[in-house]
Structure 1
Amino acid sequence: MTDPTAVAVVIPARDEADLLPACLDSVEVAVAALRLEHPDVSARVFVALDACSDGSAQIVARRPGVTAAALQAGCVGIARATAVEAAALWAAGVSSDVLWLANTDADTVVPPHWLTTQVRLARAGHDLVVGTAQPVPADLPADVLAAWRERHSTADGHEHVHGANLAFSLEAYRAVGGYPPLPVHEDVELVMAIKRSGRSWIATGEIAVTTSGRATGRVPDGFAAFLEGLGA
């Protein structure tokens, strides 16, 4: 059984000043709910500021309980890994035995029960929790939104992988070598590796997040490109 003594939220950001505040607002609510239900569990947020040239760094600097990790990789796989390593150093500093890593994206809003549900699933024996993501309906034409809903399940047992809604124990992450340094699909590769390792995992529809349906994304062939393809 995985029994987290610390929870870190890790978020890669590349020029996300417009959408990052809403993301951090939602994460703050989820962290508050976690602390209320599990006052013995330490929690902190880590944002990997990857080659940012906008006001993202200033936004993070003004947020209590949020740590920035700056890099110039221009690669989401490296950015996610950088945030994880910053979180691991923090957990060691607070003498945490078991670190749980909750992953999302800077253009994403998480529900209030996002972290409490993850901790419950971890304590039920899962080392990997794969959640669902849905685009903001107002961001998409009706036909693209309909195509998305036709292709994506938000139910338990779904087959999707979204870096915007993914969580795992540090132990499971370390055992498979962590995030690969890829510009896209680093989340899929990590999930496949953890599954192959034989760790217990669950795909749940209980903690759906909402992600921007913007037409121009931050990574090649990512979420924005997929949405664009639905409307082609």
Structure 2
Amino acid sequence: MTVPVRIDGVGVIIPVRNEELLLPRCLTALAVAIAAVRAAPALDRPRVQVVIVLDRCTDASASVAADWPKYLPIVSTAAAVGAARRAGAARLTAGLAGASLRHLWLATTDADSAVPPNWLTTQLTFARNGSELVLGTVVPDTELSFEQRQRWMLRHRVGEGHPYVHGANLGVRADRYVDAGGFACVDTDEDVRLVAALRAVPVVEARTALMPVLTSGRLTGRAPAGFAGFLQAQTTDARVPLR
């Protein structure tokens, strides 16, 4: 049986590695999702903090982040998405313990993605009703060709209770995140590793298709075996398993 939980704060983590072209789309979409949270009645309106983790960027991503002064940019030199997400979570949970962590919700997305307007409000509904982990879905944008996109959609049917794990669409209660040891400092599959660790805790999870995140359909990505690599393999090998 799940127990209702009060959520006083939301922390959003965005790892960035040379995303000057797509980061504006990401931050604009996130602003809409945050506005939806702030439109709630005062008693149901948690504070929202956003940490942009600039992970060894060599382009103008830092300048883009500076255009959003309400978001906090920090710098990582790890060149690993897991380390970047971990650094963002560490900043958001610094100095917190016990009940403070229990009432904080962490949400992660990617700089090449665009969250829907209900991204945070949906996660908060699940969290307040006792979910400690929320796993959402993703949809590739039109950078993926029409034929490739159609194939992806045919093989990637999603619904409530879906089996997928995407760092671009994941939320977790901060105390459970800490219990699981946080994101591993790796350059790929940090989301899958975290979810495995959370399930070992264990946690109450919700797997939902109610808040799909639009993500880049490019076939050459930043993480060695990330979503772009999966898309590339899928367009050439019908035997590739669903991620």
Q: 1:215 — aligned with what?
A: 219
Q: Secondary structure at the match of 1:139?
A: coil
Structure 2 counterpart of 1:185: 189
The alignment status of 1:229 with 2:228, answered yes or no, reads: no
> What CA deviation, in whole Å up to 9, does each residue of 1:2-37 have, x standing for no partner?
321000110000001100001000001101110111
1:45 aligns with 2:45: no
Shift of 1:46: 0.7
Q: Report 1:94-105 matches (<5 A).
A: 98-105=103-110
Tell me, yes or no, if structure 1 residue 21 matches structure 2 residue 13.
no
Q: Deviations over 1:111-132 (max 9, x none)?
A: 1111011111001100000000
Superposition RMSD in Å: 1.6
AA at the equivalent of 2:124? V
Q: Which residue of 2 aligns with 1:3?
A: 6
Instruction: Tell me how far 1:142 sits from its aligned partner.
Output: 2.9
1:35 is aligned, of 38, 62, 84, to 38
Match of 1:61 among 66, 83, 89: 66
1:112 alignment counterpart: 117
Deviations 1:171-219 (A, max 9, x none): 0100010001111001011011112212110100001010010122001
Structure 2 segments unaligned to the other structure (5+ residues): 237-243
Q: Return the TM-score normalized by structure 1.
A: 0.94
2:202 aligns with one of 198, 203, 215: 198
TM-score scaled by length of structure 2: 0.90
Distance in 1 (alpha carbons) for counterparts of 2:95 and 2:67: 19
Partner AA of 2:225 in structure 1: D
Count of matched residue positions in the alignment of Structure 1 and Structure 2: 229
For the residue of structure 2 that corresponds to 1:154, the secondary structure is coil
Deviations 1:84-112 (A, max 9, x none): 111123878xx786210111000000111
What amino acid does structure 2 have at the position aligned with 1:3?
Answer: R
Q: Secondary structure at the match of 2:39?
A: helix
Q: Give the residue type in structure 2 aligned to 1:207.
A: M
SS of match in other structure, 1:12 = strand
| Aligned-residue identity in percent | 40
For residues 39-75 of structure 1, give each alpha carbon's deviation from its aligned partner in whole angstroms, at most 9, with x where no partner exists.
4410011111000011111111120320011011000
2:177 is matched with 173
